[in-house]
Amino acid sequence: MNATGRNFGSDNVTPASPEVIEAIVAANAGSLHSYGDDPYTTRLNELASTLFETEVTVFPVTTGTAANALALATLTPQYGAVYCHENAHIMTDECGAPEFFTGGAKVIGLPGADGKIVPAQLDAPLRFAADMGVHHVRPATLSLTQSTEWGTVYTPTEVGALAEAAHARGLSVHVDGARVANAIAHLGCSPAEITWKAGVDMLCLGATKNGAMAAEAVICFDRARATEFELRRKRAGHLWSKMRFLSAQLVAYLDGGLWLRNARHANAMAARLAAGLAALPGVRLVQAVEANELFVAMPDSVIESLFADGFEFYRWATPAGATGPVVRLVTAYCTTDADVDALVVAARRHADGEPAPSEGRGRHPHPC
């Protein structure tokens, strides 16, 4: 039985759900047409259309970076601008993939509490762009992260207001949904409500962090974009020849609600961890815990002691309004009660005054 053990570094340190691996094994039989002309890919499109209550085109790819960059390149011309939160993954974590795939569009970060943008923040940069005419990149796309980089969740109303503001100015709306399942689990809404019904044009539906092996589904709500997306995917080397193995993962993920069960579990573990840590002296949550990420202020001695115990997680930037060292902890679909409780017990012991270790142990350099 898998568990994340002492590793709270990211939900991508996990293995895959048994259902996903079983689907891969089951797909490994006989010859099939390549490049997506196979029953798994057909089934995936049916499942996604049912789930989203509308006809969608699904493009499976392997990584969240590929999903985001391909979607943004389809929505944004070379001379365009993408607006996103200044801490968005597409801004800081993808080694310039959006710039590369678009052919040099500009990704413009906007500040915002709790990892969220609000519609009014679009006013100044879009007015500036309009004033500048051809001298400035052309506003093209609004990119939202759901759940956000700070573990919070946009409501359908919030997404709707943003999408309305964006569309009114001719911008398309992209959602980086690496953890959108966790957001939907938190909201209790339907996938349709938080996406196309709220005005989202293209969704990158993450699966890898929530139980897949390596699979993300770009959900194209507007079929007119599909052909261009297909060509861009091939050209970027993201079209698997043995596509069945990519689609099969996503079929297993969507069929029977695995995506939602996994996300609910991860969220529940985050809530359990939040409750346990918030009760400790000197420890404080610096963001609402709405999905499966926690941002926690705790004394440096506690952090270093936990590292010395072998727990893994990342030190994080201290958000505006908070003080002291902050860490990020991530739970996953396979985190167990025991995993959580072990961390809480250890943190309590250290918070209660046990002396800190003389030095911390090294941590893996990049979160995700």
Q: Give yes or no for residue 320 binding a second copy (CB under 8 A).
A: no
Q: Which of 113, 118, 132, 338 binds a second copy (CB under 8 A)?
A: 132
Do residues 60 and 246 touch, judged by C-beta distance below 8 A?
Answer: yes
Strand partners, 294: 329
| DSSP 8-state symbol, 133 | G
Binders of a second copy among 154-213, rule CB under 8 A? 208-209, 213
DSSP string, 158-201: HHHHHHHHHHHTT-EEEEEETTHHHHHHHHT--HHHHTGGGT-S
Of the listed pieces 47-55, 68-76, 157-165, 291-299, which binds a second copy according to CB under 8 A?
Answer: 68-76
CA–CA gap between residue 296 and residue 53 (Å, rounded): 38
Of the listed pieces 115-123, 165-173, 287-295, 359-367, which binds a second copy according to CB under 8 A?
Answer: 359-367
Of the listed pieces 3-11, 113-121, 288-296, 303-311, which binds a second copy according to CB under 8 A?
Answer: 3-11
DSSP string, 290-311: -SSEEEEE--HHHHHHHHHTT-
- In whole angstroms, the minimum distance from the beta carbon of 147 to a second copy comes to 17
Q: Which of 56, 66, 153, 166 binds a second copy (CB under 8 A)?
A: 66
Strand partners, 327: 296, 315
Nearest residue (CB) to a second copy, 285 versus 340: 340
Q: Which of 85, 138, 197, 265 binds a second copy (CB under 8 A)?
A: 138
Q: Which of 161, 189, 226, 236 binds a second copy (CB under 8 A)?
A: 236
Q: Give yes or no for residue 278 binding a second copy (CB under 8 A).
A: no
From residue 105 to residue 124, the character string flagging contacts with a second copy as x (rule: CB under 8 A) and all else as - is xxx-----------------
Q: Is the dihedral of CA 50, 54, 59, 60 positive or negative?
A: negative
Please work out the total of residues on this chain that contact a second copy, with binding judged by CB under 8 A.
Answer: 89
Q: Give yes or no for residue 224 binding a second copy (CB under 8 A).
A: no
Cis peptide upstream of residue 241 (ω within 30 degrees of 0): no
CA–CA gap between residue 84 and residue 141 (Å, rounded): 9
Of the listed pieces 112-120, 193-201, 240-248, 297-305, which binds a second copy according to CB under 8 A?
Answer: 240-248
